[in-house]
């Protein structure tokens, strides 16, 4: 699966130029759809779809629940691009490949990245079906040396050393919290910390207890690398986790986590998340226009 560890600026540019030559859309917002959440792209009007396999330099998604295509279109009048399926370390991809689309989005003219994922709850009061607005992240692979910015710095995108204390845009988070109240979603909307682990195995009970003590509210197998690269190249980031399972922290239980349950909850709550993202996109674009970023 590994193609190459390092990707050059020319590789990103070639992919972006190919896409710009194939579609009339000029997206301002990109959405990465997590496991079972690919239907988020279905609301796009005037769609143009490209299979990952047909896009120069693009990796291919191999996980069930990930369709593996890039969908361009308009959401509430705003030009967007959606990734139906992302790439993961556990598929055997290098982090350069996992994060490749984010830099392509930057070259397409995208200003804001909305990243979604399916996650397991580590926290009392976080229920299956809840939506968590990501306030911050713990990147366990990054802490142990797997960071997408390792290697020569691509100066065109950003500086060598990156501040991550404001990884998830405060303004976008406030907007999402306000919107959840307006839509009547407050009863199942949380705000908390997402922890990334490498996967594909789910956490042991000891690991789950450790992650919770570290300050993680939910755990998943993605997102952190894309957010680092998005931040590095100056994109604003909003993250949303759909709680699809409870992570076990007790030994005397017969429960077990499985991927089919994760996909089932994803489908069950997908329409709600779609409505949420539609409204967010309209609001983000309206705010950008007011700020003279049109």
Which candidate in 90, 153, 164, 282 is catalytic? Answer: 90
Active site (annotated) includes residue 35: yes
Per annotation, catalytic residue among 16, 83, 118, 119? 118
Half-sphere exposure of 119 (CA within 13 A, CB side): 35
Q: What are phi and psi of 218, to 5 degrees?
A: -140, 165
Is residue 108 within 8 A of residue 16, CB to CB? The reply is: yes
185 catalytic residue (yes or no): no
Burial of 119 (0-12, 13-18, 19+ CB in 10 A): buried
Query: Which of 39, 191, 246, 259 is flagged as catalytic?
Result: 259
From 66, 93, 154, 185, active-site residue = 66
Which among 162, 141, 139 has a CA at the least distance from the CA of 215?
Answer: 139
Catalytic site residue from 12, 16, 25, 35: 35
Active site residue 88: yes
Instruction: Assess whether 175 carries a catalytic annotation.
Output: no
* 132 is an active site residue: no
Structural tokens at position 111 = 């200003």
**Which of 12, 41, 91, 146 is labelled catalytic?**
91
Of residues 222, 232, 270, 279, which has the active-site annotation? 222
3-state DSSP assignment of residue 233? coil
Q: Active site residue: 196, 208, 221, 224, which one? A: 221
Active site residue 208: no
Out of 241, 245, 270, 279, pick the active-site residue.
245
Using a 10 angstrom Cβ sphere, with 0-12 exposed, 13-18 middle and 19 or more buried, the burial of residue 6 is: exposed
> For residue 150, what are its two tokens?
């390792």
Catalytic-residue membership of 164: no
Q: Is 90 a catalytic residue?
A: yes
Contact criterion met (CB below 8 Å) for 279 and 183: yes
Q: Is 269 helix (H, G, I), strand (E, B) or coil?
A: helix
Q: Is residue 270 annotated as part of the catalytic site, yes or no?
A: no
Question: How far is the C-alpha of 61 from the C-alpha of 93, rounded, in Å?
Answer: 10
Catalytic residue among 25, 88, 212, 232: 88
Handedness of CA 29, 39, 230, 81 (dihedral sign): negative
Query: Is position 126 annotated as part of the catalytic site?
Result: no
Token reading at 205: 């009970």
Catalytic residues: 35, 66, 88, 90-91, 118, 221-222, 245, 259
């Amino acid at each position: 699966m590994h193609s190459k560890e390092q990707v050059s600026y020319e590789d990103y540019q070639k992919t972006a130029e190919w896409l710009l030559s194939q579609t009339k859309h000029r997206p301002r917002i990109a959405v990465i759809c997590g496991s079972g959440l690919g239907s988020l792209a279905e609301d796009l009007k005037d769609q143009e779809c490209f299979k990952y396999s047909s896009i120069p330099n693009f990796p291919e998604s191999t996980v069930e629940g990930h369709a593996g295509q890039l969908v361009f279109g308009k959401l509430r009048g705003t030009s967007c691009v959606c990734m139906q399926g992302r790439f993961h370390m556990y598929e055997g991809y290098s982090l350069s490949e996992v994060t490749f689309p984010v830099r392509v989005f930057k070259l397409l003219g995208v200003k804001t990245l909305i990243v979604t994922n399916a996650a397991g709850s580590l926290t009392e009061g976080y229920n299956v079906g809840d939506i968590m607005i990501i306030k911050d992240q713990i990147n366990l692979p990054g802490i142990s040396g797997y960071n997408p910015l390792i290697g020569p710095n691509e100066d065109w995108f950003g500086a060598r050393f990156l501040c991550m204390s404001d990884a998830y845009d405060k303004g976008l988070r406030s907007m999402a919290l306000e919107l959840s109240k307006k839509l009547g979603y407050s009863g199942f909307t949380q705000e908390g910390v997402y922890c990334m682990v490498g996967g594909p195995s789910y956490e042991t009970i000891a690991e789950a207890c450790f992650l919770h003590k570290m300050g993680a509210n939910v755990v998943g197998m993605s997102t952190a690398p894309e957010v680092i690269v998005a931040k590095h190249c100056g994109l604003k980031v909003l993250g949303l986790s759909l709680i699809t399972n409870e992570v076990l922290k007790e030994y005397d239980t017969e429960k077990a986590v499985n991927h089919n349950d994760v996909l089932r909850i994803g489908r069950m709550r997908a329409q709600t998340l779609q409505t949420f993202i539609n409204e967010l996109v309209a609001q983000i674009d309206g705010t950008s226009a007011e700020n003279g970023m049109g």
